[in-house]
Amino acid sequence: MTDRKDIEELIGKVALGDRAALAALYDATSGKLFGVCLRVLKSRAEAEDTLQEVYLRVWAKADRYAVTGHSPMTWLITVARNLAIDRLRAHKSNHVDLDSVGELVEKRPGPEAATIAASEQRRISACFEELPQDRAEAVRAVYLDGATYQALADRFDVPLNTMRTWLRRSLISLKECLSR
């Protein structure tokens, strides 16, 4: 399968205006990025529109990729997730249906997972295990599903400010663990 170096090379070619490279990049990465968009938007039509936006953004901004210092999949996932959240906010005014969150969380990684630095993934997974389970679940729901503080407060049935304090503490614990 396409590895990090291949994807980096494709992004480099895209930056020079190589359309074939963008098509190859799409073939190599759209499964993962569509998965990310679909997870946030819960609608194939919305996720497909966003996916197109993602690759147009990549086309326009590939020359800026290098300065982010990110691995190529981190950059692509970050672009995809941010555009998906933008769309979620624009269309659904912050409503996130969390009913489907739990069942997806424990699913095994897809085949493309190998493109993500394995050590990074193990590290964040290990650190999530140090958090109380519901808090780890809340952070995941925010990243993967685009949950807001309000949605989390409703789900965990606590006041908004409590939820915020809770999550911020979890983030600081997480940072402490990740920096070890």
Residues 38-77 that bind another protein (CB under 8 A): 38-39, 44, 47-48, 51-52, 55-56, 59, 61, 63-64, 66-71, 73-75, 77
Handedness of CA 56, 96, 129, 168 (dihedral sign): positive
Q: CB 157 → another protein: shortest distance, Å?
A: 19
Which residues from 127-166 bind another protein, rule CB under 8 A?
A: 139-140, 142-144, 146, 148-149
59 CB contacts (<8 Å, ≥6 apart)?
14, 22
Stretch that binds another protein, among 2-10, 11-19, 95-103, 154-162 (CB under 8 A): 11-19
Cα separation of 78 and 133, whole Å? Answer: 25
Cβ closer to another protein: 5 or 139?
A: 139
Strands (DSSP E) along the chain, which ranges? Answer: none
Q: CB 76 → another protein: shortest distance, Å?
A: 8
| Under rule CB under 8 A, residue 17 binds another protein | yes
Cα separation of 151 and 40, whole Å? Answer: 13
| Under rule CB under 8 A, residue 32 binds another protein | yes
Q: CB 55 → another protein: shortest distance, Å?
A: 5
Cβ closer to another protein: 10 or 22?
A: 22
Cα separation of 21 and 160, whole Å? Answer: 46
Residue count of the chain, please give it. 180
DSSP 158: -
